[in-house]
Structure 1
Amino acid sequence: MTEPNTPGSRWSDLDRPPLGAAGLRRTLIRPGSLWTALDVVDTTGSTNSDLAARAGGTGGGPAEGAVLVAEEQTAGRGRLDRSWTAPARSGLFFSVLLRPGDDVPVERWGWLPLLTGVAVATGLARAAGVDTSLKWPNDLLVVVDGEERKAGGILAERVGEHAVVIGIGLNVTLRADELPVPMAGSLALAHAVSVDRETLLRAVLRSIEQWYGDWRAAGGDPVASRLQEAYTAGCATLGRTVRAELPGDRELIGEAVAIDGDGRLVLATGTGVREPVAAGDIVHLRSAETD
């Protein structure tokens, strides 16, 4: 028998109760819903890797709308192969399987991580009462002690020709002494009105369902679905002077002035040239007002 205070026990941290998979399924999986399956595992390396393996398996894999949640990830991944680790049950670590199919041209699938960011931010605004902003392309920011901190991230990965797995990692109850780096944050440190993970997960998944449904119904058009407008409104990168660290060890510094129709970040450089950035690491340097 596992003793209550041992690390492997579900009672080892009573402020962090386990998720109830059955209750989540009852409220999320229903006729006409995007969500078709939801599994919660105690621990895994990466929910993205696990769900991608299922989707790429024989027999076509799971249907669109499969959700895999882990109480703990031991090899969680962010962009550029960065690791994402946190104590068990201290956050939400999950992946969803989407199959945009013939409704959305492949060239518009690049909007999916940005769509997920908008959906997570709007879901958290309702359920947690926290103003979450977006750092292009995939970081979720909250304010802790007057400073922007990264509380979460998004990783989208193509699986074969017809599927995309999107992983979301979100720090919920992470305490100051548990932060992996000084500039990390959590909903609790941002004074969220609720840190109940089931409430937050339901809100985020329902928000993804709404935004994805509208985007898909519009054929992936970011204007008609109002996705481009919403992302622009919530993007903390716009109006900032930033450094873009690009593939091939290239670097570009400029003011982030727009999100274009392909979801790219447009930088106005010192020479007056506007350059779209499709991929890269963005470092916020300062606000445009202080230049």
Structure 2
Amino acid sequence: MERIDGDQLDGVSATTLWTLRNRAEEAMRADSSFDDPLAVEAYRAIDTDFTRFGKPSQTHPLRALAVGQEIRDYLDAHPRATVVALAEGLQTSYWRLGRPVRRWLSVDLPPVIALRERLFPPEEAIEYRAMSALDTSWADDIDADDGVIVTAEGLLMYLTPEEARGLIAFLAGRFPGGVLVFDSIPHWFSRKTLSGLKLSTGYQAPPMPFALTVSEAAALIDLPGVTEVTDLELPPGRGPWKTSLLRTLSSLPKIRDIRPSLTRVRF
């Protein structure tokens, strides 16, 4: 594959390079069970300074595994459902599913979609929408009767609180019977980004104004159309991430609201 300039992405869009690097580095480890060959191929094809994102972390590959399992579970119950990946970035979820999908909408800003089209093979099921997730016209031609599952990995934290809650409310009203899976950051981490969080000496993370604790996410049940809210566990990883102790501790009342979270909302 030809080398591709990754510096064409900036701001929030550039964070997709951060998550790609973490998934690819994890997939290349001999002691990891995480498998993402397409991410490794894309990682090797992109020319950029990946060291700016600091030390690789397991959080993004484990998040990807958890979201992938949620998609599989929903498709088991709704085989003809549409999958909508909001702000999909350079995720490779479609190819890691290991099962057919009738329709997959990939929504992201034009520079990201252009990069996806260069890096990833075309698939009949995948349709690209080169627009902001907040431009909800991407939903105009979706028939919710067969089911819809929406994923938002690494999206909501970059929105304002009003935008994030408004998007959730829109999805709840537009897709009855559907599901939304999204990740959130705690308030202390949001404050760090607003003050200028440096991942390395040469890179400052974009501001992340929207934070949502596990307790605050549970209150989304009060939104019209929301029928269930569930805090999801990440699957086991390596080292400390392999034991059940970390997951047990993270569920304690004093800890669960100061950690990142992954939430499933049913409509």
TM-score range, shorter chain: under 0.3
TM-score of the aligned structures, taking structure 2 as reference length: 0.28
Tell me: higher relative CO, structure 1 or 2? Use CA pairs within 8 A at least 6 residues apart.
Answer: 2
- Give the number of the structure whose residues are more often strand, by fraction: 1
Q: Please, what TM-score do these two structures have when normalized by structure 1?
A: 0.26
When you count helix as a share of all residues, which structure comes out higher?
A: 2
